[in-house]
């Protein structure tokens, strides 16, 4: 493969390398299962998992088919991620502009952000049981910190010339935040949303393992109880595909934003 003049591989080369990586992964998986290195009960073949996944698309397991479980998970995820973004981004911008607010919030935030989202699961279960509030709270705990941190960094590193020009023209604090800080921080905010989306999706699955009565995580727990490894792996594949699609959308938004700003 011949690299482009800038040294980066072309899109076609990236696809070929990705396909080679996937082929190697599934080849090793099939070999471990097919040649008896691992019992098929604990590591079924890729074909068996694919057949089980196709079956679950139309047949209920743990109360619903796989698409219904996925939609249930996406509903919780959407609420938790939206809440994390709607709180984290504005708060980060305000902390980047108001030093007093930064001094007040930072010690609390620094203490809480190192608590892993999965650690909130028992607390969420005590508060909300198996209702929607528990998973939403855990997703919020995963998505909120990256949204706040990146918005804060974006606001703090805005070119001082823009701020001075806005002040010279008589702009007040609110107008500076909305018309200067926010637009200048968009690339950093989008990067934070992408990270937060990934952490939120991972947090959702952890929450559903304990504090949910539907969703992909719940389906996997029921599969474990029934010693159905193919069901558990089908759920894992569904989680990976949905997470990849969410990241792909945000990656395209991030690339478009950077291109518009001349950063890509």
Domain count, the chain: 1
**pLDDT tens by residue, the chain, 264 residues:** 455 555 667 778 788 888 888 899 888 988 888 887 888 788 899 999 999 999 999 999 988 999 999 999 999 999 999 999 999 999 999 998 888 999 999 999 988 888 888 888 888 888 887 678 888 899 999 999 999 999 999 888 887 787 778 777 777 778 878 888 888 888 899 999 999 999 999 888 778 877 677 889 889 989 988 889 999 999 999 999 999 999 999 888 888 887 776 655
Q: How far apart are CA 84 and CA 142, in angstroms?
A: 8
Residue 27 domain-assigned? Answer: no
Residue 152 domain-assigned? Answer: yes
User: Are the C-beta atoms of 200 and 143 separated by less than 8 Å?
Assistant: yes
Residue 53 domain-assigned? Answer: no
Among 178, 7, 201, 59, smallest CA distance to 117 is for 201
Residue 243 domain-assigned? Answer: yes
Q: Give the CATH number for residue 114.
A: 1.10.3720.10
Mutual orientation of helices 66-97 and 46-58 as an angle, nearest 10°? 90
Phi-psi region of 53 (alpha: psi -120 to 50; beta: other; left: phi over 0): alpha
Range of the domain at 138: 70-260
The length of the chain in residues reads 264
Q: How many CB atoms lie within 10 A of CB 231?
A: 23
Residue 85 domain-assigned? Answer: yes
The residue assigned the tokens 């020009």 is 165
b/e code 111-128 from CB counts within 10 Å (16+ = b): eeeeeebbebbeebbeeb
Residue 171 domain-assigned? Answer: yes
Residue 96 domain-assigned? Answer: yes
Residue 78 domain-assigned? Answer: yes
């Amino acid at each position: 493969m011949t690299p482009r003049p800038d040294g980066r591989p072309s899109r076609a080369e990236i696809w070929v390398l990705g396909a080679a990586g996937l082929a190697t992964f599934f080849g090793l998986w099939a070999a471990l299962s097919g040649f008896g290195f691992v019992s098929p009960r604990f590591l079924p073949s890729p074909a068996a998992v694919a057949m089980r996944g196709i079956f679950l698309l139309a047949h209920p397991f743990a109360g619903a088919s796989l698409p219904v479980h996925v939609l249930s998970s996406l509903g919780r995820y959407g609420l938790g991620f939206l809440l994390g973004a709607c709180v984290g981004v504005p708060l980060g911008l305000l902390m980047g502009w108001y030093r007093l607010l930064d001094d007040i919030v930072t010690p609390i935030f620094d203490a809480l952000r190192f608590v892993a989202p999965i650690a909130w699961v028992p607390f969420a279960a005590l508060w909300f049981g198996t209702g929607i509030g528990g998973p939403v709270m855990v997703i919020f705990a995963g998505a909120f910190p990256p949204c706040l941190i990146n918005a804060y960094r974006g606001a703090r590193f805005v070119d001082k010339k823009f701020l001075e020009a806005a002040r010279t023209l008589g702009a007040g604090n609110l107008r500076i935040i909305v018309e200067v800080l926010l637009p200048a921080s968009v690339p950093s905010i989008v990067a934070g949303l992408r990270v937060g989306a990934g952490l939120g999706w991972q947090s959702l699955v952890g929450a559903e393992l304990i504090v949910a009565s539907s969703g992909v995580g719940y389906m996997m727990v029921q599969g474990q109880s029934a010693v159905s490894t193919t069901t558990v792996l089908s759920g894992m594949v569904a989680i990976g595909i949905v997470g990849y699609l969410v990241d792909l959308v945000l990656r395209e938004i991030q690339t478009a934003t950077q291109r518009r700003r001349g950063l890509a």
